[in-house]
Amino acid sequence: MTRTAAVFDMDGVLVDNAPLHRAAWRQLCVEEQVTLPDGEWWRLTIGRPIWEALPRLLGPLDEARLVRLAGRRQALYEELAARGLVPVAGVVDFVRQLTAGQIPCAIATSAIPENVSPILTTLGLADVFPVRVTAADIRRGKPDPEVYATAAARLGVSAAACVVFEDAVTGVEAARRAGMAVIGVTTAHPAGELLEAGAARAVPDFRGLTWGDVARL
């Protein structure tokens, strides 16, 4: 079939901000005197809403501490992001190509809404995404398909009509569970992991990519 709509995760897909998120997590753990787990600890947080990521990294939290730490983690990230955000290579041109071709586009992200508008404004894409599904719109984070199913519903298309662009294994799993085709972007995970999770294809960025390359996945 030919796909007719595009759904984008945000962090790691539109903007290459993984280093900023990792730095914010590190600083939060320093402040809370929490030792980070050995190895690739950031995998515990990738693609997950803040309320799910915090206990995975810091252990069980009561509601009051969860709220406090979520606010502090957001403040740390904002301080870092204010120094500048870098788009994933080629993504702005690719999204503009879809706009010119009248391909409906949505964002489906685990980020809080306060992070979405500044990033889209910085990238010059604030006018492109009339549908934005964020952590505030869902009850269950990725890999649950809720965020992607909601995006399709708000676009007014079937899940099967959508191509998703995702950098996280949990996000690929969520999109596949929603019934969507997925292009993996290798800013957070290697290609093999994204393909194993169900991505039809993995790309390092959007340079040279066209809608014709992905619409028949």
Per-residue pLDDT of the chain (217 residues; tens, 9 = 90+): 789 999 999 988 999 888 888 888 889 999 999 888 877 888 788 778 888 889 988 889 999 999 999 899 888 888 887 787 889 999 999 999 999 999 999 999 988 888 898 889 989 999 999 999 998 999 998 999 999 999 999 999 999 999 999 999 999 999 999 999 999 999 988 999 999 999 999 999 999 999 998 998 8
pLDDT in the model for residue 93: 96
| The amino acid at 180 | M
Whether cis (ω within 30° of 0) applies to the bond prior to 143 is yes
Task: Clarify whether residues 68 and 136 are in a common domain.
Answer: no
CA quadruple 52, 58, 62, 66: dihedral sign:
negative
**H/E stretch holding 150:** helix 146-155
Task: Clarify whether residues 178 and 166 are in a common domain.
Answer: yes
pLDDT in the model for residue 125: 94
Task: Clarify whether residues 46 and 73 are in a common domain.
Answer: yes
Task: Clarify whether residues 137 and 199 are in a common domain.
Answer: yes
Catalytic residue positions? 9, 11
- In a 13 Å sphere around the CA of 55, the CA atoms on its Cβ side amount to 10
Provide the number of structural domains found in the chain: 2
pLDDT in the model for residue 167: 93
pLDDT in the model for residue 144: 95
Among 81, 113, 132, which residue terminates a domain?
Answer: 81
Task: Clarify whether residues 93 and 72 are in a common domain.
Answer: no
pLDDT in the model for residue 47: 75
pLDDT in the model for residue 50: 84
Among 37, 63, 81, which residue terminates a domain?
Answer: 81
Task: Clarify whether residues 103 and 147 are in a common domain.
Answer: yes
Closest CA to 176 of 153, 192, 189, 194: 194
Task: Clarify whether residues 69 and 117 are in a common domain.
Answer: no
Task: Clarify whether residues 127 and 193 are in a common domain.
Answer: yes
Task: Clarify whether residues 135 and 89 are in a common domain.
Answer: yes
Residue 119 structural domain: 5-16+85-214
Task: Clarify whether residues 50 and 131 are in a common domain.
Answer: no
Coil, helix or strand for 196?
helix
Task: Clarify whether residues 71 and 92 are in a common domain.
Answer: no
